[in-house]
Structure 1
Amino acid sequence: MATQAEQILKEKEIQGIVFSLYGKIFVSTLLVIITFFVTQTLYEVMIISLVNLCLIFVMSIMIRLVQKNKAVVYVGLFCILVDLLIITILPFVWYHAVGGESIPRTYLIKTSTHYIIVSTLILNAFTLQPIYPLLYSFGVVISQAWMLLYAKADPRFLSTESFKEAFLGSAAHVNNYITNMGVIAILGFILAYLTFRIRKTVLVAASNEVRSSQLSRYFSPNVIQEMASAEESFFQPGGKEMNVAVMFCDIVGFTQISEQLGPEKTMSFLSEYHSQMMGSIFEYRGTLDKFIGDGMLVTFGTPKPSPEDAKNAILAGLAMQKKVADWNEKRIIINEKPISIRIGIHYGAVIVGNVGISTRLEYTVIGDAVNAASRIEAMGKEVKKSFLISKDLFDQVKDTNSIHAKFKSLGSFALRGKAKATEILSVET
């Protein structure tokens, strides 16, 4: 089974093949138009136009197949075969248009197909498959070598070492023709190597994209961004003191819920619940510190603080409550019991950084503010309120009027572990 990185690479390869096919359609269309201005006989116009129109039709079908991810490899190889047939047939079409066997076969190797060959070779490199330009250049060399031998078999064949005579006269510069074949072969190898290098680069980029996606399952987007641009010191044990908003959130009566659901359904329930909450948390630049069973520890202001951290924490809490209300409506429809959550938020100093050893680190927050937030969330059960914040958090919000909620002071409480009483406010919509 293909990995995610390989699937992404396959998508890029398909895009390259489609681009290559569109490029060939453009070249074919251009060739048909030019034919009407440079050809000398109606036969030549008809044959070249018919061949190119058929080619455009076939390539259009190939594009549809590739875009549907059908027979991608076979389409690529078929296109190489068609390209080789075209550059082999074209000189004969032109040869017969000017007289055929009545003139020397020298004309076959004096036709200007090299421009078409080189442009098609470059287009084949866009497929991100090194084998395509390699096969095409190899096929071109064989085709052109056979054509040279076929032309030289004619007793009337004329050759010259003068470029002027070859350009103006009826003779051919054989050495130049062979040199062109060598250049095409070398160009094919170069493009194959460059395509190989680009393919590896795309695969590495795709792998990094997948890793980043996988990391998002364990870390918040803010932390991933910080890790991506961080220096080595970021990944060492230790931390720094910062003022942040700390949120604790729990499901009310989760113990009873888990007993009723059983282990398997409980895990499924939690997975769906957490996915509902994460959208609201990340929307307001929150950082998920950890899941604690049904609970969550979330911070606002890590790894980089902002003046909006306290406000974002409240807005995230309100959004989480709204998500739960919407989810409950769906749960009731399918005969499942609605749930409720408790949220507690505090603002204060914490140590933000890596806890552990160099081989096993956890990016987290520790400190008095974390404990206070936990106590505030638990207090919701005593005062029968679902959303509580500290006055310390409220004071950090510069424009409370922009928050569509009511704030009511419940008085000061002595939180366990804190000598100074803390004023608590309820938040209600």
Structure 2
Amino acid sequence: MVEARTIDGMRQLKEREGQDGIESNKYLYEALEQNKHEGVMLAVRARTFSLAIISVFLIYRIPNWSVLYYQALIVGFLLIGWAQVKMGRVERSRVELFLIFLDLLLMTIVLVVPNPWDPRPWSVAMQFKSGNFPYFYILLAGAALAYSWRTLLPVAAFTTALWLAAYFWAIYQPSDIADLSEKVKLALAGYPNVLEIVDPNYIPLEPRIQEVLIFCIVAGLLGLNSWRSRRLLVRQADVARERANLSRHFPPNIVDNLAESDQPLGAVRAQSVAVLFADIVGFTKMAEAETPERIVEVLRQFHSRMEACVFDNHGTLDKFLGDGLMATFGTPETTEADAENALRCAAAMHQEMKSWNELRVKGGAAPIRLSVGIHYGTAVLGDIGSERRLEYAVLGDVVNVASRLEALTRELNAKVVVSGDLIEAAGGAVIARELQYTENGSQSIRGRGETVKTWINPMVSVPA
């Protein structure tokens, strides 16, 4: 039975809980974890490169000892950045939020507090309203690159709180150029609007509110885009996982058709299918002479080669059966070539076994004999199981007969035993002659009252 979900489950992705359901998919979580680390590393490296350039420029711009104030702040930005690399992870992290807060606090200090080692007269008000707020957008861009959409909300909140707190702190700070304000007031008497702009010791509140308001809007838009991208990533990961599950059972072309279909895979129905069973003859005896590791390796190679033959002939891999497998032709949708595809798959399997056995003999290993049984008839298809675990099942007499025909290969010394119904559905005597099948009369099937007309592809040589 093919373990697969319905196509409706693929198209109608379930709503996620917690952090978009990341915990339920460890592979997605690991991908996001790696993406988060790479994003933080990229942001910190860009920051380091930028700060190095700024550091050199400041030495040129301020060729005196007061430049050490800004150099010290640059070191602080570097330390915070590399701490974020160490602490960054997919889940919410208080330490990470604290580091972001320190980042924004340090930026606020740089933009608001005048250089205490600068001998030139200056004021906090002049420093505050000198148009440096856009530097916060650099940190916002870095956060958008390195963090999830949830983290952009605290960035906006921290920036708003710090900038407004800095405003109220700045308006109460004494000024080294207080007398200049009096001179400006006298010169601009009668022009109050102009005075608010040019007074070196006055900080208007409205522009500050406008600055943080626009900053929050931009942060919100970036957060919305990040949320949308993350949601799309989760959906794509789910679809990829569903397609990967289907690809274990169906050939690529059928997987594509199923992914595009609006019809549920698991709708219970009856339809004509060809069922193929393949098995390694004498596997138990062979296993006794090999180590468990070697046996597993042989089975992996066997399954891989047989799976390719099934898919190359438009079949569906129903399941592996230890040293064998069951495949169907005509699922999930029937075609006129299903019976012929099953016959050609059996031929391809034996051709593949011939090539593999040649390699095994060269390597000193014994050749492996493959037996195949195929029947064509009506089967019941649909999902069975519980709500917690569903399996796509192919049920009916056609399955039992195909299994019994495979077992008959030992008695009839044949590579393949197929039913007359299959030969008739595949094109009759024409296809039988092409693929070297001979009629073998009716055979009794264990557990079945009626006999089955059989055709065989005889064994040319039986490996010792």
State the match for 1:403 in structure 2.
none
Instruction: Say if 2:135 is the partner of 1:135.
Output: no
Contact 2:381 2:392 in 1 (8 A): yes
Q: Deviations over 1:105-161 (max 9, x none)?
A: 112222434333234224424445455323333332343234323422334477999
State the match for 1:298 in structure 2.
327
Q: TM-score, normalised by structure 1?
A: 0.66
Identify which of structures 1 and 2 has the higher relative contact order when contacts are C-alpha pairs closer than 8 Å and 6+ apart.
2
Instruction: Say if 2:453 is the partner of 1:425.
Output: no
Instruction: Say if 2:47 is the partner of 1:19.
Output: no
Instruction: Say if 2:97 is the partner of 1:103.
Output: no
Q: Aligned equivalents of 1:364 and 1:194: distance in 2?
A: 42
In the alignment, structure 2 segments of 5+ residues that lack a partner are 1-21, 186-190
Which of 83, 87, 111 aligns to 2:107? It is: 87
State the match for 2:12 in structure 1.
none
Q: Aligned equivalents of 2:460 and 2:265: distance in 1?
A: 39
Over the matched positions of the two proteins, sequence identity in percent amounts to 22
State the match for 1:313 in structure 2.
345
Measure how far apart 1:319 and its partner are.
Answer: 6.9
State the match for 1:380 in structure 2.
409
Contact 2:316 2:331 in 1 (8 A): yes
State the match for 2:7 in structure 1.
none
Measure how far apart 1:249 and its partner are.
Answer: 0.7
Q: Aligned equivalents of 1:305 and 1:208: distance in 2?
A: 25
Q: Deviations over 1:284-315 (max 9, x none)?
A: 54312245565422023422456876456246
Matched residue of 1:249: which SS?
strand
Matched residue of 2:131: which SS?
coil
Q: Aligned equivalents of 1:97 and 1:144: distance in 2?
A: 20
State the match for 1:238 in structure 2.
269
Q: Aligned equivalents of 2:245 and 2:69: distance in 1?
A: 53
Contact 1:41 1:97 in 2 (8 A): no
Q: Deviations over 1:15-52 (max 9, x none)?
A: 14533552464466567768999999334997699679
State the match for 1:354 in structure 2.
382
Letter in 1 for 2:124: R
Structure number with bigger Rg: 2
Contact 2:28 2:237 in 1 (8 A): yes
Instruction: Say if 2:204 is the partner of 1:173.
Output: yes
The verdict on how the C-alpha distance between 1:56 and 1:11 changes in structure 2, with shifts beyond 3 A counting, is farther
Measure how far apart 1:247 and its partner are.
Answer: 1.8
Alignment of 1:156-305 (within 5 A): 156=175, 170=200, 171-185=202-216, 188=219, 202-203=233-234, 206=237, 219-220=249-250, 228-231=259-262, 234-239=265-270, 241-242=271-272, 244-254=273-283, 274=303, 277-278=306-307, 281-282=310-311, 285-291=314-320, 294-305=323-334
User: Mean alpha-carbon deviation: is it higher for 251-260 or for 50-59?
Assistant: 50-59
Q: Deviations over 1:212-240 (max 9, x none)?
A: 656777x546777666555465433223x
Q: TM-score, normalised by structure 2?
A: 0.62
Instruction: Say if 2:28 is the partner of 1:8.
Output: yes
Contact 1:13 1:129 in 2 (8 A): no
Contact 1:288 1:298 in 2 (8 A): yes
The verdict on how the C-alpha distance between 1:382 and 1:50 changes in structure 2, with shifts beyond 3 A counting, is farther
Q: Aligned equivalents of 2:452 and 2:250: distance in 1?
A: 33
Contact 2:277 2:325 in 1 (8 A): yes
The verdict on how the C-alpha distance between 1:18 and 1:66 changes in structure 2, with shifts beyond 3 A counting, is farther
Q: Aligned equivalents of 2:350 and 2:25: distance in 1?
A: 38
The alignment yields a C-alpha RMSD, in angstroms, of 5.8
Contact 1:344 1:387 in 2 (8 A): yes
The verdict on how the C-alpha distance between 1:399 and 1:318 changes in structure 2, with shifts beyond 3 A counting, is same
